[in-house]
């Protein structure tokens, strides 16, 4: 047996229900900071600068971003760096990772003259990428337009 429920309202309440009513609703609060695509690859040193090759990320959004489990690769899928649990970038803040030199650093692969850096979320979805065909002098920095340009710093 099928049961159907109906809401019947009359008077002012009925008129209110019959008209389109849009009210702001607060977003649910989450205990953890959620992954986001507001993190961009902002600057890259590829020619063994001091302290060696490095990658700078920028959170362009208005909320903290949890990078736990995010993956960085160059043009080779076998070169992988995974962000540790608890790695968070605050809004408008930068995070730099360095190539390993003399046993110190973050990622264990170099960035070549013709190479790229790719950022993937923990589900292996591409979030951002930059590529270049020559070493930066001294680095490649991202413009507001999204293009890379050699920096003078």
- In this structure, how many other beta carbons lie within 10 angstroms of the beta carbon of residue 64? 15
Give bridge partners of residue 44 from the DSSP assignment: 55, 140
What is the mean pLDDT of the segment spanning 3-25?
38
Residue 137 pLDDT grade (very low, low, confident, very high; cuts 50, 70, 90):
confident
**Are the C-beta atoms of residues 74 and 115 closer than 8 Å to each other?**
yes
Is residue 6 classed exposed, middle or buried when 0-12, 13-18 and 19+ CB atoms within 10 A define those classes?
exposed
Residue 114 pLDDT grade (very low, low, confident, very high; cuts 50, 70, 90):
confident
Residue 28, helix vs strand vs coil: coil
In 87-106, which positions are buried (b, 16+ CB within 10 angstroms) versus exposed (e)?
A: bebeeeeebebbbeeeeebe
Range 39-150 has CATH code 3.40.920.10? no
Residue 153 pLDDT grade (very low, low, confident, very high; cuts 50, 70, 90):
low
What is the mean pLDDT of the segment spanning 66-95?
94
Say what the pLDDT of residue 112 is.
83
Task: Quote the CA–CA distance of 117 and 130 in Å, as a whole number.
Answer: 5
For tokens 């995070």, name the residue: 95
Residue 12, helix vs strand vs coil: helix
Q: What percent of the chain has pLDDT over 70?
A: 68
Selected residue with higher pLDDT from 144 and 79: 79
What is the mean pLDDT of the segment spanning 66-75?
94
Selected residue with higher pLDDT from 104 and 5: 104
Task: Quote the CA–CA distance of 25 and 82 in Å, as a whole number.
Answer: 36
Q: Nearest CA to 68 among 83, 90, 56?
A: 83
Query: How many Cα atoms sit within 13 Å of 117 on the Cβ side?
Result: 28
């Amino acid at each position: 047996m099928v049961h159907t429920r109906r809401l019947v309202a009359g008077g002012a309440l009925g008129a209110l229900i019959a008209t389109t009513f849009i009210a702001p609703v607060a977003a649910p609060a989450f205990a953890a900071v959620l992954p986001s695509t507001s993190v961009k690859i902002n600057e890259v040193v590829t020619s063994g600068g001091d302290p060696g090759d490095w990658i700078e990320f920028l959170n362009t959004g208005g909320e903290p971003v949890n990078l736990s489990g995010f993956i960085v690769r160059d043009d080779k899928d076998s070169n992988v760096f995974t962000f540790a649990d608890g790695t968070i970038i605050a809004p408008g803040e930068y995070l730099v990772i360095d190539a390993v030199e003399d046993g110190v650093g973050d990622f264990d692969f170099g960035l070549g003259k013709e190479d790229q850096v790719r950022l993937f979320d923990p589900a292996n979805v591409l979030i951002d990428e930059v590529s270049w065909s020559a070493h930066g002098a001294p680095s490649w920095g991202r413009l507001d337009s999204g293009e890379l340009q050699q920096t003078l710093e």
